[in-house]
Amino acid sequence: MKDKSAVIYTDGASRGNPGRSAWAYIILNNGIIETRNSGYCAYATNNQAEYYAVIHALSDAEEQGFRNILLYSDSQLIIRQLRGEYKVRDRCLRDLYMKTIAIVKKFDSVSFENVPRSNKNISIADRMCNETLDRMQKSDTTPFDEDIVSIPEIKLKPVGIVRSPYTTPGDAPRQGQLSDQLSEIHIFPEYRDALYTIEQCRQLVVLCWFDRAERSLLRATPPGQTGERGVFSIRSPGRPNPIALELVDLVQISGTVLTVRGLDAIDNTPFWI
């Protein structure tokens, strides 16, 4: 009979940091390797890849029916964050941290421990990451300029924040035009002058940053369909750069607050006009 307890070893790797990245994990039950799995997480930092490994491992363990987990990683940062010893200051890591904690709550118990990279099971996971990256590099038919990894990360500065009746991604409609709900766009005070004459517009094109969307998702199944498609060919909010373009109706203006209809962004989403 299968024991309800499992021991997990995870690892993440990034070539370029940020750059091409992969995750891997091993699940042991009664000292025997039950599962080995690895995957590609596109353009990410090493710390993000480490989190993706933990998320995929815990999700798999939960699906297999394990109830008690002891998880090992060689990332001291990730382990200390998950144990509550370090604050999660980086926004991208905070999103992954919250996703991990949500999965942790599904188990009876989860413990996190740090081990050195020399640990034999961590070494196996590390090798799996590199094998995945090697395979992706060989099979990649799209030219990839390795100099890209040396370009500084592009930073966008939001001009405001969304106040919406939708508090989670699951609350939001599949498309904003499918709902008559009103949302507010709160422009930051320093951009007040940029709103001059905006009352002459009936509609606005809004760019939102879906900061709580899945960044590692490359394929998804659209609603009502059975086959997977690449996220660049569909409207999935999960994508490497979760930028959403929204066409909304301008209903009312009050100071720096714009009331709009047709916005499917959830509460506290940063945006640009």
pLDDT at 273: 63
Q: Is the separation of the CB atoms in 67 and 107 below 8 Å?
A: yes
Where along the chain do its domains lie? 5-150, 160-272
Burial of 143 (0-12, 13-18, 19+ CB in 10 A): exposed
pLDDT at 152: 53
Q: From CA 165, how far away is CA 176, in angstroms rounded? A: 12
Q: Does domain 5-150 have CATH number 3.30.420.10?
A: yes
What is the full per-residue pLDDT of the chain (273 aa) written as tens digits? 567 999 999 999 999 888 889 999 999 999 999 899 999 987 889 999 999 999 999 999 999 999 999 999 999 999 999 999 999 988 778 989 999 999 999 999 999 999 999 999 999 999 999 999 998 877 764 444 444 444 455 677 889 999 999 888 778 877 777 778 899 999 999 999 999 999 999 999 988 888 887 777 788 888 778 888 888 888 778 888 888 888 999 999 999 999 999 988 888 888 776
Tell me how far CA of residue 257 lies from CA of 65, 101, 108, 250, in angstroms: 48, 34, 45, 11
Which of 265, 255, 111 lies closest to 193, judged by CA? 255
**3-state SS, one letter per residue, for 239-271:** CCCCEEEEEEEEEEEECCEEEEECCCCCCCCEE
Q: What is the CATH number of domain 160-272?
A: 2.40.30.70
pLDDT at 140: 61
pLDDT at 75: 96
pTM (whole model) above 0.85: no
Continuous segment of H or E residues that includes residue 129: helix 120-139
Tokens linked to 99? 């996703």
pLDDT at 142: 47
